[in-house]
Copies of this chain bind each other. A is one copy, B any other.
């Protein structure tokens, strides 16, 4: 198989850099185009960008000339790391021009005909693609989105519980990492020796996105019927670099024992792993038995940042069970998730 010619929109930002870092060693993709805002256009990537990940910028992209974020890029698909404030229309123009758009922005996540996708959770939602193309008069372009970074880990953990027992109500408190705010993001003076109990728009996303992700594709409606789950999030920013830790309480549709809950989590199977997708890992859900795990620093890189780690599964005094879930916000919850979306589409023949 020849690698897919790939572009990145918003290539100079924090998520853009993570895309480059992950794609540079991924055999299914070849980075052939980098695009960013006007300020960077025309410069070689290594000049346009201050590389902020450990190590150096991959040699293969250093001399690529940064292009504008518009059709004309030399690639088949684009990963969009654009800020939501500008992503919407740009992504539409790209898809209309025939590019496959794998977006990390929130702009189109809740569009009725756009898949909000986690390959291990709702691969069947890709059935929206032909509907999307018909609706919008697009030929071979498309838009597929991945969820918010705080949604991703939670939803993966809820999926096997929802399948096995039905999830009815969820109270979740997040302790989210600094990288979720991008760069420059949170000022150090606001982070050191502090917790900020608020992240703009985050709770709204966490309340609605898992409902779509865990929802059902309706051929008649041509859209997703959201799962009937009430979710109450409280989102907090803490002084960690990467890794969103979440304390979760769930009410289940039918009674289950702690052993059954753990067995459901441990039994979770990954379709993209079975299909050989290079970014997929098995297990996708790691369940730890120690009383004090997962910890952000120790567990965020499990499964190369694509696994989520669940721990402290125990009865809840108010709902049914509570547990802790950790996922890597810029890998599983952003760049890595979008790349896995593309891999699933490649494995299923939806990207040539």
A interface residue numbers (CB < 8 A to B): 14, 52-55, 169-171, 173, 175, 178-179, 183-198, 207, 230-232, 234, 236, 238-241, 245, 247, 249, 251, 291-302, 311-312, 316-319, 322, 324
Contacts and interface: CB of A to CB of B under 8 A. Distances in A.
B197 A192 contact: no
Contacts of A193: 192-193, 239-241, 296-297
24 contacts: A55-B301, A173-B247, A178-B188, A184-B184, A184-B187, A185-B188, A188-B239, A193-B296, A193-B297, A194-B297, A195-B238, A195-B245, A196-B292, A197-B311, A197-B324, A198-B291, A198-B312, A230-B318, A231-B318, A232-B316, A234-B312, A234-B322, A239-B239, A318-B319
B239 A171 contact: no
A192 B55 CA distance: 17
A195 B298 CA distance: 10
A170 B207 CA distance: 19
Contact of A188 (B186, B245, B249, B294): B186
B171 A324 contact: no
A95 to B, nearest CB: 32
Contact of A189 (B232, B241, B245): B241
Given A52-B189, A189-B185, A197-B292, A170 B318 contact: yes
A251 B232 CA distance: 13
B234 A318 contact: no
Contact of A317 (B207, B236, B324): B207
Given A170-B318, A249-B171, A195 B240 contact: yes
Contacts of A171: 171, 249, 316, 318-319
A194 B178 CA distance: 12
Contacts of A53: 298
A319 B183 CA distance: 36
This chain: copies in complex: 4
Contacts of A207: 317
Contacts of A319: 171, 232, 318
Contacts of A183: 187, 189
Contacts of A188: 178, 185-188, 190-192, 239
B241 A192 contact: yes
Contacts of A298: 52-55, 194
A17 to B, nearest CB: 12
A300 B197 CA distance: 13
Nearest to A286: B56
Contacts of A295: 190, 194-197
Contacts of A241: 189, 192-193
Contacts of A238: 175, 195, 238-239
Q: Which of A190, A191, A197, A293 has the most chain B CB atoms inside 10 A of its CB?
A: A197
A204 to B, nearest CB: 11
Contact of A234 (B247, B292, B302): B247
Given A184-B189, A194-B297, 4 more contacts: A187-B187, A194-B296, A195-B295, A197-B324
Contacts of A55: 298, 301-302
B197 A322 contact: no
